[in-house]
Amino acid sequence: MTTPPPRSRVLLTGASSGIGAALAKELARRGDHVWLGARRADRLASLVDEIGAAGGTARAVAIDVSDHEACARAVVDLDGEIGGFDVVIANAGVGGRETSVWKTTPQDAREVIDTNLTGALATILPLLPRMRERGRGHVVGVSSLAADLTQPMAAVYGASKSALTFFLDSVAPELEAHGVAVTIVHPGFVKSEMTAKNGFPMPFIVETDAAARIIADAMAKRRPWLRFPLPLSMTMGIAGLLPRALRAKIVSGGAAKRA
């Protein structure tokens, strides 16, 4: 008789909607035990019930990644309580408004960076020494294809995601030397509440459940990088080779002129 693989204990932030909620259901369907972190307790409770009804195992945890000290305490307490997370997925994020630099305030920038960058670090960093001590672990950071190409009307959002990617790519060799894998995820447009607010074209947009399957597959293989969908990733790669003025015009669709 074949012994089933051990269940992974997964901490997933930003789990109440969008990619996070879909990924929680997908990982639970594959047999993982998922701790769902987010601020919206009612949504988490519904998601836990949905996962349980489908035969999976999940637990809701109130985590606000923008409250960095509280977030760090919470993840360490949970890690100790359950005997150690096998995987931590820093997925919580907010979208930056499509706005010009002339209309961007320091408070606007802080709100995005506090969640997308510092919130991710407050989730990941406290767990790294514990993973090192155990000699195992897997860190997954959900960044964005926006980190791959400068975009005049999404400067703060792109900067926050670029910084997360830079951090994860920088620490990956050191972590991997201690048995901790790193997967950096750059999704394109994925159908969600966040993208539903976008007032601009979103080429090659991916259904949420499909995105969750793609990410879960990459995690299972411990891939260091995941960029999807391929057509958009390739388009942005080619655009990155163009002169800056032409690239800005193509990527923004003339948005810079409308500012």
Residue-wise pLDDT tens digits, 103-129: 899 999 999 999 999 999 999 999 999
Summarize the confidence of residues 210-223 as an average pLDDT.
97
Minimum mean pLDDT range among 12-16, 160-164, 250-254: 250-254
Tell me, what's the pLDDT at 238? Answer: 85
Q: Which residues are catalytic?
A: 157
Residue position matching structure tokens 């997933």: 12
Domain over 9-258 is classified CATH 3.40.50.720 = yes
Of the chain, the percentage scoring pLDDT greater than 70 comes to 88
Tell me, what's the pLDDT at 195? Answer: 66
On the question of pLDDT at 258 being above 50, the answer is: no
For residue range 150-181, list pLDDT tens digits in order. 877 789 999 999 999 999 999 999 999 999 99
For residue range 27-63, list pLDDT tens digits in order. 999 999 999 999 999 999 999 999 999 999 999 999 9
SS (H, E, C) the chain: CCCCCCCCEEEEECCCCHHHHHHHHHHHHCCCEEEEEECCHHHHHHHHHHHHHCCCEEEEEECCCCCHHHHHHHHHHHHHHHCCCCEEEECCCCCCCCCCHHHCCHHHHHHHHHHHHHHHHHHHHHHHHHHHHHCCEEEEEECCHHHHCCCHHHHHHHHHHHHHHHHHHHHHHHHHCCCEEEEEEEECCECCHHHHCCCCCCCCCECHHHHHHHHHHHHHCCCCEEEECHHHHHHHHHHCCCCHHHHHHHHHCCHHHHC
On the question of pLDDT at 183 being above 70, the answer is: yes
